[in-house]
Amino acid sequence: MSRHLPILRFFACPESPSSRGVMHFFKKNYEELKKLNPDFPILMRTTENAMPAITTEIDFTEGDVIKYMLQTGKFKNTDGTLSQERIQAAKDYLKTDWTAMENARWNVPGFDPERPFLGTEWRDDPSKKQALSDFIKLKDEASTLFEIVQSGPNQEYKRAYNSLLMHQRVDLWCAGPKEVEAAVRHLVMLGQRFNKREPDYPEFITEFYPGVEDL
């Protein structure tokens, strides 16, 4: 789990029958899960009348939100019709060559145009503007497309983002242990698909446990 998720939180009411499945699963599996994931936070939050649930934190990107909006038909005008302009802008945004932009970003040694609070005054420097022309072109195109994507009515993009965030929570009202296990598997698969987490492998083996005889 720790390869794909940063944390796992269980919510339950210790006195409510509706939370028995969550409580049973947690008490039965916590020790084994911690042995398999010793540095992984597995937390239980209990309070009176709590809605039994399990949550995690998924690193959804802007591209993930846009794909979700395209797949679920979220780009709609006020009259309910699909906005072809925003749909096309979303598709073009997903085609952005982020690798080329990242490479062009470092064309001026020691200078990062993406540094926080830098502003845009550096674009008035002819030498930097020339060296970073490819970066500026790709960056401006992506920014323009993203503005079009976000221009929908009724906070369309923000609502879609919040809707996507709800996928990292599974409510488990009156669920049994098997349903809780299925919810955990769902979140792990979701993290495997979206989270760009790098496994922290050791550089060399520090402990040895004897097993079969060496050949």
pLDDT exceeds cutoff 70 at 96: yes
pLDDT score for 194: 83
Rounded average pLDDT over 129-134: 95
- What is the chain's mean pLDDT, rounded? 90
pTM above 0.85, yes or no: no
Rounded average pLDDT over 71-76: 94
pLDDT exceeds cutoff 90 at 161: yes
Q: DSSP E strands: which ranges in the chain?
A: 8-12, 42-46, 53-55, 169-171
Query: Which tens digits make up the pLDDT trace of 165-213?
Result: 999 999 999 999 999 999 999 999 998 888 766 655 556 556 655 665 6
pLDDT score for 3: 85
pLDDT score for 1: 84
Query: Which tens digits make up the pLDDT trace of 26-68?
Result: 999 999 999 999 989 999 999 999 999 999 999 899 999 999 9
Rounded Cα–Cα distance for residues 60 and 196 (Å): 10
Rounded Cα–Cα distance for residues 215 and 201 (Å): 26
pLDDT score for 59: 86
CA distances to 18, 21, 41, 100, 132 from 12, in Å: 8, 9, 17, 47, 53
pLDDT score for 130: 95
pLDDT score for 195: 77
